[in-house]
A and B are shown apart, each in its own frame.
Chain A
Amino acid sequence: MWRILKQIVKNGVRTEPAPESNDDWRVAQAEPERIRAELLAILGRALTIRLVDAGSCNGCELELNALTNPYYNIEGLGIKFVASPRHADMLMVTGPVSRNMVVALQRTWQAMPAPKLVVAVGDCGCSGGLFGESYASCGKVANVIPVDVAIPGCPPPPLDLLRGILTAIRSRK
C-alpha cells in the first residue's frame, strides 16, 4: 500500500486547464450566444455522455479514452461517460455509420431524454471520412441522426474533443 501512496504523492496532480470552445464547428442553427460564465454554469453541473461507435476504426475511441486520463481529467470537469442512453445528455458518435449499426444508433438516440445533444466525432463522423458512402456505410453521422456539432480530425486530439463538447453545450440552452 505504501508504494501506491508513494507513487501517487510523487506524481501529484497532472490535470491541465480545459480549452475554449470553437464556434466554427457548430452545425446546427446558431442559437443566441451564451456568455462564457453561463457555459461554465452549465458545466458546473454534471454532463453525461453516451458514446456510440457507429463503425469507426477505433482511432477516435483511443482519444475519447484519453480524455479520462489524469491530464485531461474529464470527470474533474463534471463530465462523465455513462452506460445507458437514458442517463445521457449528450451522444457522441464516432465513425462513418456502418449500415450494420444504423438501427443500434437510431435506438440509442431515441432512448435519450431531451435535449439529445449530438456530437459527431472525427473526419468520419463529420463527412464519412475516407470511407464515405457505400453498400456498407451510410457516411457521416448527420445522414442518420440530427447532429449539433461535428469535430474534425483523424482522430481529433483530446483537447479538440473537449472543445467540441463545450461547443455543443453552448449551442443549446
Chain B
Amino acid sequence: MPLAALDCRFETLPGPLPMQRATVTRQQWRAAPAAVAAVGGRLVSLWGSDRRGLDGGFAVSAAYALGEGLVWLSLPIAVVAQPSYPDIARTFPAAGRMQRACRDLLGLVAEDAVDQRPWLRHGAWPEDYFPLRREHGGLESFAAAPESYPFVRVEGDGVHEIAVGPVHAGIIEPGHFRFSVVGERVLRLEQHLGYTHKGIEKLFERTAPLEGHYLAGRVSGDTTVAYAWAYCMALESLAGVEISWRARWLRALLLERERVANHLGDLGALGNDAALGFGLAQFSRLKEDWLRLNRELFGHRFLMDRVVPGGVATDLDVTSGERMRRQCDEIEVEVRTLKDIYEEHGGLQDRFLTTGRVSPKLAAQLGLCGMAGRASAQASDLRMDFAWEPYAALQATMASHRNGDVAARVTVRIEEIFESLRLIREIVARLPKGKPLSTPGALPANGIGAGWVEGWRGDVLVTLELEAGGIRRCHCHDPSWQNWPLLEHAVMDNIVPDFPLINKSFNLSYSGQDL
C-alpha cells in the first residue's frame, strides 16, 4: 500500500468495505498527505477528539480514501496551553474548513494554516468554550454575542457586494452567501455556513449506542438512510457483528430508493430554476408517487429509522416486491420521456450547458466528490470502488461525465436514476432469504468502528468510539464539506441569476456540514 513508506501499524476495522486505522507520529501525519495525493487518493474527513482519560491528551484524525480502502490516521496531541497539529490544507484544501471547525469545537489549532477564522462558532458561545472537551456537558448556555464575520473583500472599479442569507428566498436551509459582482457577473462568492449547528456531535455523547442511528439519521434528513447505515456499519464494525445477507440487500434497496427520490426532486427543481415549471410539476409528481410507496411499504416517506443496528426494521414480501418492480418500470418510462423533453428543449439546454462548470482538473485539485465529482470526471463511487455485497453481485455501474457543468450533473443524475431503478428491480428479484434483523447481543464496552456509505450526494463517513458502554466520540462527515468550496468556484464568471440553478445542481447539505 502507498502508505507503507510511512511505516505505521495499521489495525483493520471489520466491515463490508476495507477500512484501516493507525495511530501516527507528527512526522507520519505530515508525510501522509503527499503520499496519499501521489497515488490519486483523496481526503475524506478531518476531525478532532478529546482522548484525555483514555490514552493521553487530544487527537486529530484524518480519513483518506485510497484504492485499497479507507485509511484513518490519528495523531495524538499533548495537552498544552495551545494544542496544535500540522496543517494538511496545503495539500488537501478541503481540510481548511474542517480544521477551522475542529478549532471551534475542541480548541485544536492547525499550525500555520492560512485561514484561522472561526467556522461553526458565530458568537453564540464564547471563544474559550470548546464544546467537545470532556469538562463540558454540552448543556451550558451563554448570552449570545454575535460576531461579524470578516469576509474577504474584492476591491475594484464597479465592484459591489450582494449579501444573501442566512434566511434564503425559498424553502431551503439557511446559510450566508456574499457575492462580489460587476454588473451581472460574479467575480467571487464567499460562503459563511454553520447556522444550523445544533451540537449533534456533543449530543452523541449523551446518546445510548443502540439509539445512535436515530440521531445519525437526522444529521441530514434527505440522506437519512445513508447516515443511519453508516452509523450502524460503524457500530457493527466495532462489535464485530455480521448482519444477514437479506439485511445487506435491503439496506442497499433503501439507499437506492433514497437516491432516486433526491434526484427526482432536484431534476424538477432544476427545470423550474431554468424557467420550465412543467419540469417541476412532472418530476415532483413522480417523487410524490415514489414517497407514497415508501410510506406504504416501509412506513416512512423518507425511510427514517428503517436501518437499525443488526439489519433493517422492515422487510419486503413478494406482493410488495412486485409493486415496487412495477413502479420502477413506470417511473423509468416517465423519466425517459422527461429526459427527452429536457434534451430537446433549447431554452433549458441553453441555461444548462457550460453553466457552473468545474473542470476535471480543478475537481481533482480541490477534492470534488460524489455525484458532482462524477460529473467532473472524478470516477469514485463506493458502490463500485470496492468489491462488496450486494453491489458486486448486482454489477452496479458508475455514471460519469467530463464537462462538469449543470448539464453534466443533470445527465449523471438521470443516469443514476436508471441504474438505481435497475438495482432495485434486481434486488427485489434476487433478495436472499433469511431474517432482515438480528438484534445485536451485548456490545463491547470499549471499541472503535467506522461506517462508510455512498449517499446520493457522495460518501458519508461515521466514526464511532465507545467507552465504558457509552459513546465517547461519534463523528459524522458529509460530502458537502468538500463540495461547498467548489460551488464558490463553479459560480465565478457566471451571472447572478444562474446562481440558483448552479446551486441546485449540486444541492449541498447545510445541516450535514453544520452538525
What total of chain A residues lie within 8 Å of the partner, measured CB to CB?
50
A62 with B302, Cβ < 8 A, contacts A131-B200, A134-B139 known: yes
A110 interface residue (CB < 8 Å to B): no
**Would you call B199 and A103 a contact (CB within 8 A)?**
no
Which chain B residues numbered 37 to 55 have a C-beta less than 8 Å away from chain A?
none
Which chain A residues numbered 50 to 100 have a C-beta less than 8 Å away from chain B?
51-66, 68-71, 81, 83, 95-96, 98-100
A164 interface residue (CB < 8 Å to B): no
**Would you call B138 and A134 a contact (CB within 8 A)?**
yes
B477 interface residue (CB < 8 Å to A): no
Other than A4-B341, A57-B221, A98-B195, give 17 A-B pairs with Cβ distance below 8 A.
A52-B167, A58-B511, A60-B221, A63-B301, A70-B284, A98-B196, A99-B125, A100-B124, A101-B166, A103-B144, A134-B198, A134-B203, A135-B136, A135-B140, A136-B124, A137-B198, A137-B199
A101 with B221, Cβ < 8 A, contacts A8-B278, A68-B284, A135-B125 known: no
**Would you call B198 and A96 a contact (CB within 8 A)?**
yes
Chain B, Cβ-Cβ closest to A132: B203
Jot down 18 A-B pairs with beta carbons below 8 A, ordered by A.
Answer: A3-B337, A4-B341, A51-B170, A56-B173, A58-B221, A59-B224, A66-B291, A70-B284, A95-B198, A101-B174, A104-B166, A104-B167, A132-B203, A133-B141, A135-B140, A136-B125, A137-B198, A155-B302
Chain B, Cβ-Cβ closest to A51: B171
A146 interface residue (CB < 8 Å to B): no
B509 interface residue (CB < 8 Å to A): yes
Which chain A residues numbered 96 to 128 have a C-beta less than 8 Å away from chain B?
96, 98-104, 108
**Would you call B131 and A136 a contact (CB within 8 A)?**
yes
Q: How far is the CA of A59 from the CA of B122 in the complex (A)?
A: 24
Contacts of B514 in A (CB 8 A): 98
Chain A, Cβ-Cβ closest to B222: A58
CB distance from B382 to the nearest CB of A (A): 22
CB distance from B317 to the nearest CB of A (A): 24
Q: How far is the CA of A61 from the CA of B510 in the complex (A)?
A: 12
A-side residues, CB < 8 A to B, are: 3-4, 7-8, 11, 14, 51-66, 68-71, 81, 83, 95-96, 98-104, 108, 129-137, 154-155, 157
A70 with B129, Cβ < 8 A, contacts A55-B195, A95-B196, A101-B196 known: no
Q: How far is the CA of A153 from the CA of B214 in the complex (A)?
A: 14
B16 interface residue (CB < 8 Å to A): no
Contacts of A96 in B (CB 8 A): 198
Contacts of A51 in B (CB 8 A): 170-171
Q: How far is the CA of A101 from the CA of B221 in the complex (A)?
A: 19
B-side residues, CB < 8 A to A, are: 122, 124-125, 129, 131, 136, 138-142, 144, 146, 166-167, 169-174, 194-200, 202-203, 214-215, 218-222, 224, 265, 278, 280-282, 284-285, 287-288, 291, 295, 301-302, 304, 337-338, 340-341, 344, 509-511, 514
**Would you call A83 and B170 a contact (CB within 8 A)?**
yes
Partner of B302, one of A3, A59, A134: A59
**Would you call A70 and B285 a contact (CB within 8 A)?**
yes
Q: How far is the CA of A59 from the CA of B171 in the complex (A)?
A: 11
Q: How far is the CA of A36 from the CA of B155 in the complex (A)?
A: 59
**Would you call B344 and A3 a contact (CB within 8 A)?**
yes
Q: How far is the CA of A128 from the CA of B170 in the complex (A)?
A: 23
**Would you call A56 and B221 a contact (CB within 8 A)?**
yes
Q: How far is the CA of A132 from the CA of B139 in the complex (A)?
A: 10
Contacts of A53 in B (CB 8 A): 172-174, 196
Contacts of B146 in A (CB 8 A): 103
Q: How far is the CA of A138 from the CA of B28 in the complex (A)?
A: 42
CB distance from A44 to the nearest CB of B (A): 24
Partner of B138, one of A52, A95, A130, A135: A135
Chain B, Cβ-Cβ closest to A68: B284
**Would you call A64 and B301 a contact (CB within 8 A)?**
no
Q: Which of A61, A81, A83, A132 has the most CB of B within 10 A?
A: A61
**Would you call A81 and B171 a contact (CB within 8 A)?**
yes
Partner of A135, one of B142, B196, B278: B142
Q: Which of A11, A14, A133, A137 has the most CB of B within 10 A?
A: A137
Chain A, Cβ-Cβ closest to B337: A7
**Would you call A135 and B202 a contact (CB within 8 A)?**
yes
Contacts of A63 in B (CB 8 A): 301
**Would you call A100 and B139 a contact (CB within 8 A)?**
no
Contacts of A134 in B (CB 8 A): 138-139, 141, 198-199, 202-203
Chain A, Cβ-Cβ closest to B172: A61
Partner of A136, one of B197, B215, B278, B338: B197
CB distance from A74 to the nearest CB of B (A): 11
**Would you call A57 and B129 a contact (CB within 8 A)?**
no
**Would you call A70 and B218 a contact (CB within 8 A)?**
no
**Would you call B285 and A71 a contact (CB within 8 A)?**
yes
Q: How far is the CA of A134 from the CA of B124 in the complex (A)?
A: 11
CB distance from A120 to the nearest CB of B (A): 15
Contacts of B195 in A (CB 8 A): 55, 98, 100-101, 104
